[in-house]
């Protein structure tokens, strides 16, 4: 089973996108980073025409074959970060998501396509937001939290720190200082980043098995007690990869 099979078998993810497509797709639709083509196929039920763009050479033949029987869908083998769009774009579907948009090309792709869209263009997803939580865990480096591993102890609630609208240009170089209140005594040695996806105004998708598993990021050890306020500075490049993540921490009180 391939990575793309795992994506299509993630029913919670797929069903949420199908629901958004049913509500929002019309006119001329682009599916950017179409992968297996499953979202483009669904969009074809509601759009006048769908253009499905994918550059991964490992899947393009299979995807082209999957979509070739649909008269209103055209498959395009190209890089969506550089593609020159023509004509009116009514809807953009772009599921190149990753936690905090760090390790996939959602932002580089969006930053390209918005040069060709207008205020009437609908984007699926519409936005994402991310939260940060202070934790204690045992990890050797940055990792994803999947299948309840690695185990951790929460030292704070989640604090919402980042909102990204996906219908406009976003600077890929992100930096924020986040003040978080400690609610349990312990040894702070990591933070947990969780991303939530707004497919539409009223369809919110939490992490699923194949969408945005939380990231655990080790930080320098610090003993904390309930009531402490910890300032975490985090910076990364959206679309640049996990190795761009940098953090510092200090106590505010």
Residues 163 and 71 in one domain: no
Whole-angstrom Cα distance, residue 211 to residue 61?
A: 24
Q: Is 82 helix (H, G, I), strand (E, B) or coil?
A: coil
Given a cut of 60, whether residue 111 has pLDDT beyond it is yes
Task: Provide mean pLDDT across the span 93-108.
Answer: 97
One domain, residues 157 and 240? yes
Residues 18, 20, 23, 24, CA torsion sign: negative
- The answer on 88 and 137 residing in a single domain is no
Q: Which residues of 14-43 are buried (b: 16+ CB within 10 A; e: fewer)?
A: bebbbebbebbbeeebbbbbbbbbbbbbbb
Residue 222 — pLDDT band, cuts 50, 70, 90?
very high
Q: How many domains does the chain have?
A: 2
82 and 31 part of one domain = yes
State residue 2's pLDDT score.
64
pLDDT at 162 over 70: yes
| Statement: residue 1 has pLDDT above 50 | no
Angle (nearest 5°) at CA 106 between 15 and 231 = 100
pTM of the model: 0.95
- Tens-place pLDDT, residues 227-236: 999 999 999 9
pLDDT (tens digit per residue) in 69-90: 999 999 999 999 999 999 999 9
* Domain end among 46, 80, 95: 95
Decide if 118 is inside a domain.
Answer: no
193 domain-assigned: yes
Q: pLDDT tens across 182-215, in order? A: 999 999 999 999 999 999 999 999 998 888 999 9
Residue 38 forms part of a structural domain:
yes
Q: Are residues 84 and 141 in the same domain?
A: no
16-64 pLDDT per residue, tens: 999 999 999 999 999 999 999 999 999 999 999 999 999 999 999 999 9
The fraction of the chain above a pLDDT of 70, given in percent, is 98
**Position with higher pLDDT, 211 vs 121:** 121
In this structure, are 47 and 91 located in the same domain?
A: yes
Q: What is the pLDDT of residue 220?
A: 96
Does residue 119 form part of some domain?
no
Cβ neighbours around 219 below 10 Å, total:
17
pLDDT band at 4 (very low <50, low <70, confident <90, very high): low
- pLDDT reported for residue 6: 66
| Domain boundary, last residue among 77, 95, 113 | 95
Residues 158 and 43 in one domain: no
CATH number at residue 154: 2.70.160.11
* Residue indicated by tokens 């959602």: 106
135 and 80 both lie in a single domain: no
Examine the domain organization and report whether 165 and 221 are in the same domain. yes
Query: The domain containing residue 183 runs over which residues?
Result: 128-251
Whether 144 shows a pLDDT value over 60: the answer reads yes
């Amino acid at each position: 089973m391939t990575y793309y099979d795992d994506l299509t078998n993630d029913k919670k993810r797929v069903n949420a996108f199908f629901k958004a497509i049913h509500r929002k797709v019309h006119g001329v639709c682009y599916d950017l980073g179409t992968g297996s083509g499953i979202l483009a196929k669904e969009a074809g039920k509601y759009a006048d025409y769908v253009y499905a763009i994918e550059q991964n050479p490992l899947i393009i033949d299979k995807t082209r074959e999957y979509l070739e029987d649909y008269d209103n869908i055209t498959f395009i083998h190209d890089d969506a970060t550089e593609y020159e769009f023509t004509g009116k774009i009514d809807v953009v579907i772009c599921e190149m998501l990753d936690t905090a948009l760090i390790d996939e090309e959602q932002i580089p792709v969006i930053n390209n396509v918005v040069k060709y869209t207008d205020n009437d263009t609908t984007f699926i997803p519409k936005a994402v937001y991310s939260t940060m939580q202070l934790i204690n865990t045992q990890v050797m480096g940055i990792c994803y939290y999947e299948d309840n591993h690695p185990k951790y102890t929460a030292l704070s609630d989640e604090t919402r720190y980042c909102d990204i609208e996906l219908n406009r240009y976003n600077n890929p170089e992100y930096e924020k200082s986040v003040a978080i209140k400690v609610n349990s005594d312990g040894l702070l040695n990591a933070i947990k980043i969780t991303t939530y996806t707004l497919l539409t105004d009223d369809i919110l998708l939490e992490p699923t098995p194949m969408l945005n598993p939380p990231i655990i990021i080790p930080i320098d050890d610090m003993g904390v007690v309930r009531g402490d306020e910890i300032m975490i500075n985090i910076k990364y490049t959206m679309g640049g990869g996990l190795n761009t993540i940098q953090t510092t921490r200090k106590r505010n009180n």
